[in-house]
A = this chain, B = another copy of it.
Amino acid sequence: MLEHNPSLTKKNTKDRILEAAIELFAQRGYTGVSVRDITKEVGVKESSLYNHFKNKEDVLNTILELFYDEIGKTSFSLETIEEGLNHMDLSGFLQHHAFMLRQKNTPLMIKIRKIIYMEQFRDERALNFILKGIIEAPSEFYKRVFQIAHEKGMIKNNNPEMLGMIYQYTALTIFWELMLREANGEDIAQYTKKIFNLIEFLCER
């Protein structure tokens, strides 16, 4: 996807179409946006879009793949856990990982995440991506984190799988709430702190 321009810095028409589509889909949903809306935003005629994409559906496809390549593929690799926990304590590791995720969730990626949330029951790819990329893979990752921390004697609690699930599921809602409050025009400064408080609490025990 976008080999020479992963940040979509408005060079060519294709990327400008993608950027406009992401913005509009995030505001009004896929079915709420027309090809006219997108091309009008870019400043080209509707027919030009079909030089770059097969059809409207193909635009959404490309956006979802873009998100998967940036976020889904590498964020929850089980191989990194063991070594990470050799260098850091559990809360340090989780803070570090949360910080990395925050770096990856640029404004553009957050817009795509909104699109995925809005299409979750309508589009099979969105549904599967949430189930696998947003729920299952991170759950496996955090379960493994707390398991290894338990094996290394870094936490006392003897139900690390439960702690992993609690961390992932709670963090997901915190991040969801952040997106909602941002969409509602509210201040979102305290949400990093909310995650860090959660980490502290779960690592105490």
Hey, which bits of chain A sit against chain B, CB under 8 A?
26-29, 31-32, 114, 117-122, 127-128, 130-131, 135, 159, 162, 165-166, 168-170, 172-174, 177, 179-181, 183-184, 197-198, 201, 205
Cα distance A184–B123 when bound, in Å?
11
Residues of chain B lying within 8 A (CB to CB) of residue A159: 201
Q: Determine whether the beta carbon of B180 is less than 8 Å from that of A169.
A: no
Offer 7 A-B interface pairs, CB within 8 angstroms, sorted by A.
A27-B122, A117-B117, A135-B177, A135-B180, A166-B201, A169-B173, A172-B173
Residues of chain B lying within 8 A (CB to CB) of residue A119: 29, 118
Residues of chain B lying within 8 A (CB to CB) of residue A28: 31, 122
Residues of chain B lying within 8 A (CB to CB) of residue A181: 131
Quick one: which of A114, A165, A169, A184 has the most chain B CB within 10 A? A169
Residues of chain B lying within 8 A (CB to CB) of residue A31: 28-29, 31-32
Shortest Cβ gap from A158 to chain B (Å): 11
Q: Determine whether the beta carbon of A184 is less than 8 Å from that of B128.
A: yes
Q: Determine whether the beta carbon of A120 is less than 8 Å from that of B117.
A: yes
Shortest Cβ gap from A148 to chain B (Å): 20
Closest to A33 in B: B31
Cα distance A169–B166 when bound, in Å?
9
**Given A27-B121, A162-B197: A180 in contact with B114 (beta carbons within 8 A):** no
**Given A29-B31, A29-B122, A32-B31: A170 in contact with B165 (beta carbons within 8 A):** yes
